Amino acid sequence: MGLLELAPGFNIAVLLAFFLFLITLRVLFSCWISPTLKYWKIRRNGFGGPTPSFPFGNIKDIVKMSGDSSLQSSNSPHDIHSNAFPYFAQWQRSYGKTFIYWLGTEPFLYIAEPEFLKKMSGSVMAKSWGKPTVFKNDRDPMFGNGLVMVEGDEWVRQRHVITPAFNPINLKVSLSVPDLSPKMEKYLADSLRI
């Protein structure tokens, strides 16, 4: 008699335990080890920012600062950004105009420096920045292959196609379209009579 015939339940239990071990390793790697490696790589490259906590990143800080009314009051009522996002205003004061913050296990680059954006967007690097996997997985059904989701040469092509639509002359033309509501009312009234 072989081992398989003596203890068939034992083999299933071992396979199940091994499968659970692999799942645990995968979750541990994707939720803790990989973000930790990303964090240290970002720090070595000179980016600062608030220290994330496992597994929520900086979400606890965001919630705490959003409820803190002393951070929301700004000197100017026109400073909408500081009132709406007090955590970004606080982090800007602490870490400068370019920093990394974390939502869960995903890092996000915050840039409030127009010259830096202009420099990076105009260079070849703009095509290869990449979107976080959060966007690719969660938002693909909503945005498909539109400008928000695509990257690289396809992003450049789509951006080139839509840019003329935002020319000031074209915007004036689109704003001067006559009011269509009387025509719509007539159409709806005629279609409802049938």
Q: Is residue 174 located within the same domain as residue 103? A: no
Query: Which of 122, 138, 165 lies at the terminal end of a domain, its last residue?
Result: 122
Report which of 47, 57, 87 is spatially closest to residue 71, judged by C-alpha positions. Answer: 87
pLDDT tens profile 50-109:
888 888 888 888 888 887 766 555 566 667 777 788 888 889 989 988 888 988 888 888
Please tell me what DSSP assigns to residue 100.
E
Q: Kindly calculate the radius of gyration of the chain based on its CA atoms and give it in whole angstroms.
A: 26
3: left (phi over 0), alpha (psi -120 to 50) or beta: alpha
Does residue 97 or residue 181 have the better pLDDT?
97
In angstroms, rounded to a whole number, what is the distance separating the alpha carbons of residues 99 and 48? 5
Q: What is the pLDDT of residue 21?
A: 92
Residues 38 and 61 in one domain: yes
**For residue 193, pLDDT beyond 60:** yes
- Considering the domain architecture, whether residues 28 and 74 belong to the same structural domain is answered as yes
Both tokens of residue 54?
Answer: 């496992």
Overall residue count recorded for the chain in this entry: 194
**Domain final position from 95, 122, 149:** 122
Total domain count, the chain: 2
Do 42 and 32 share a domain, yes or no? yes
The residue segments making up the domain with residue 78 are 10-122
Span 7-32, mean pLDDT? Answer: 82
The C-alpha angle 16, 21, 23, rounded to 5 degrees, equals: 95
Q: What is the pLDDT of residue 3?
A: 47
- The band of 47, judged by pLDDT with boundaries at 50, 70 and 90, is confident
Q: Which amino acid is at 5?
A: E
What pLDDT sits at residue 74?
Answer: 55
Mean pLDDT for all residues in the chain: 76
Indicate the pLDDT class of residue 23, thresholds 50, 70 and 90.
very high
Query: Could you tell me if 102 and 57 are in contact, meaning their C-beta atoms sit under 8 angstroms apart?
Result: yes
25 in the same domain as 108 = yes
pLDDT at 4 over 50: no
pTM for the whole structure:
0.54
Q: How much is the pLDDT for 9?
A: 61
Does the structure show a pLDDT above 80 at 144? no
- Cβ neighbours of residue 89 under 8 Å, at least 6 residues apart? 71, 74, 81, 82
| The residue type at 107 | P
Percent of the chain with pLDDT over 90: 4
Q: What percent of the chain has pLDDT over 70?
A: 69
> By three-state DSSP, how is residue 53 classified?
strand
Which of the two residues, 144 and 89, has the higher pLDDT score? 89
pLDDT at residue 175 is higher than 70: no
Rounded Cα gap, residues 16 and 9, in angstroms: 11
Whole-Å CA distances, 67 to 92, 138, 146, 185: 18, 27, 35, 47
Confirm if 42 and 98 have CB atoms less than 8 A apart: no
